Amino acid sequence: MKVVALAGGVGGARLADGLAQNLPPEDLTVVVNIGDDFDFFGLHICPDLDTVCYTLAGMANPATGWGLAGETWNALENIGRLGGPTWFRLGDRDLGTHLERTRRLAKGEPLSQITGDFCRAWGIQLTVLPASDDSVPTWVYTDEGEMPFQEYFVRRQCRPSVSGFRFADVDRSSPAKGVLEAIQRADLVVICPSNPWVSVDPILAIPGILPAVMSRPVLAVSPIIGGRTVKGPAAKMYAELGIEPSALSVARHYRKFLSAFVLDREDAALQSEVQALGVKALVTATWMHTAADRRQLAAECLSLGSALL
């Protein structure tokens, strides 16, 4: 079964890793959000690409989900001592990724080409693609004005109340090489348990991607369990946007193209309402604590997905 997974952030990376344990590498393509990307210290930083790749390579910091395991912080400590900004924590080994990516981007190489080479170097055989090779930074409208994504997410720790999002220059962007082809030949598109507003919507907003996704069977896993997110601000964003933070709201978020939805046992009571949307609903354990949990959840997604064919 050929699968394309849409992923951003830690939850997305973890299910992508589970899918990678169930599929041969040639049958899985992970399309990753680039809306979190930003320039800092003159470096182009791609947090979701790095979180997905580090996770797939088994190198991610297990506690945070982002950055590298066994990291050291000498450069950041020195920056702090010099009075520089330390709010976005850049580890010494992680800096190597940003330095090399920035060097190659400055030579005009597309992000998708660089990502493919990095995956080979990290021993990742499946295909990881940025949603676009263009820069489409997410801006967050808040009660304290509009701010760039990482300013909201890390520096302000998601505290401001959100009222909307903007994907800058998205209308001028295009899917990275290979993205549309992968979606069009996919038997199943899996929307990982990532933030619908700032991890999945920015991917679907890239011209061409939503129509391609809508032409395929689509399965999504809820990032909200019992009205709360495992990690990140998705539930808080729903509430601030005046929408009930629930797995059902997530199913409604994707209802234009959803064929199947996976929700946690804690939300079993919502199953019939999800089915009333015309969507097959699977209730199972969706909280991924271990590699075995990731593998199991992915296997259940694939068996539900194969029922859609």
**Could you list the residues that contact ligand FO1 (CB under 6 A)?**
8-10, 36, 47-48, 50-51, 66-67, 88-90, 94, 150, 153-154
Q: Please, what is the minimum distance in Å from the beta carbon of residue 148 to ligand FO1?
A: 11
Closer to ligand FO1 by CB, 50 or 267: give it: 50
- Residue 158 or 299 with smaller CB distance to ligand FO1: 158
| Inter-residue contact 29 to 182 (CB < 8 Å) | yes
CB 245 within 8 A of CB 239: yes
Report the residue number, 104 or 231, with the smaller CB distance to ligand FO1.
231
Cβ at position 33, least distance to ligand FO1 in Å: 7
Closest approach, Cβ 191 to ligand FO1, in A, equals 15
Q: Which is nearer to ligand FO1, 18 or 137 (CB)?
A: 137
Whichever of 47 and 137 has its CB closer to ligand FO1, that residue is 47
By C-alpha distance, which of 7, 23, 12 is closest to 302? 23
DSSP alpha helix (H) spans, the chain: 9-20, 47-56, 74-81, 92-106, 111-121, 149-150, 179-184, 201-204, 209-214, 234-240, 247-253, 271-275, 291-306
- Containing 138, the helix (H) or strand (E) segment is strand 138-142
In the complex, the smallest distance separating the C-beta of residue 152 from ligand FO1, rounded to whole angstroms, is: 10
CB of 153 to ligand FO1, least distance (A): 5
60 near 68, Cβ under 8 Å? Answer: yes
